[in-house]
A and B are shown apart, each in its own frame.
Chain A
Amino acid sequence: LAKTTQPISMDSYEGQEVNITCSHNNIATNDYITWYQQFPSQGPRFIIQGYKTKVTNEVASLFIPADRKSSTLSLPRVSLSDTAVYYCLVNQGGKLIFGQGTELSVKP
């Protein structure tokens, strides 16, 4: 199973762009990369998903290099409400395996 590795925690300030990088060296050809956000006392929420190159939605951008062994979640102009844990996952046949996640703290 492809394991993901990401920083345990990150700090940022309001209005800054935050980039969280995840490594997934053993990703398989058919696997997609998905990021989830979790607030305290809530279940994780889907943010963005991609296979290669760049994907952008109203919340974030996802950058995936050609070798697909890593990916970077980019959150533009973060606010205090973006303080949460962010999980990088590799979808493998529908089974989601969560890594430790990155605890993002946004300060005023």
Chain B
Amino acid sequence: SAVISQKPSRDICQRGTSLTIQCQVDSQVTMMFWYRQQPGQSLTLIATANQGSEATYESGFVIDKFPISRPNLTFSTLTVSNMSPEDSSIYLCSVETGRQSDTEAFFGQGTRLTVV
């Protein structure tokens, strides 16, 4: 299993500013995942963060808007840049254990972001 801590748990930000979300895991993991969950919607994968390499972004998400850092095997940050009200969502960090196909994912509590 894995325990994930996310900071901050929530924030209200002005448009045009940036917010950095931190994700700390209690064990070393190869990959960390960042998701967005818009109000009333399902989770959408933003990117996969590997330690020591550039993050891999999903279609519709770009590094300039969502830069990711992965300085070590237990920590990652996601920055939401130049925010607009459309970025108001819950952002979740996740890790997985197991082999490639029979993995179990563990999620942080999420960061509830409101952009005004």
Contacts and interface: CB of A to CB of B under 8 A. Distances in A.
Nearest to A34: B104
Contacts of A41: 109-110, 112
Contacts, number: 62
Interface stretch (B13-21, B41-49, B75-83): B41-49
10 shortest interchain CB distances as A-B pairs: A43-B107, A98-B43, A32-B102, A98-B42, A91-B101, A46-B104, A32-B101, A94-B100, A30-B101, A43-B92
Interface of A: 30-32, 34, 36, 41-46, 49, 51, 87, 91-101
A41 B109 CA distance: 7
A34 B104 CA distance: 8
Given A45-B107, A49-B104, A98-B35, 10 more contacts: A30-B100, A43-B109, A46-B104, A93-B100, A94-B31, A96-B45, A96-B103, A98-B45, A99-B42, A101-B42
A51 B102 contact: yes
Interface of B: 4, 31, 33, 35, 42-45, 48, 92, 94, 96, 100-110, 112
Contacts of A36: 105
Contacts of B110: 41-43
20 contacts: A30-B100, A32-B103, A43-B92, A43-B94, A43-B108, A43-B110, A44-B43, A44-B105, A45-B107, A46-B106, A49-B104, A51-B102, A91-B102, A93-B101, A94-B31, A94-B100, A96-B45, A97-B45, A98-B35, A98-B44
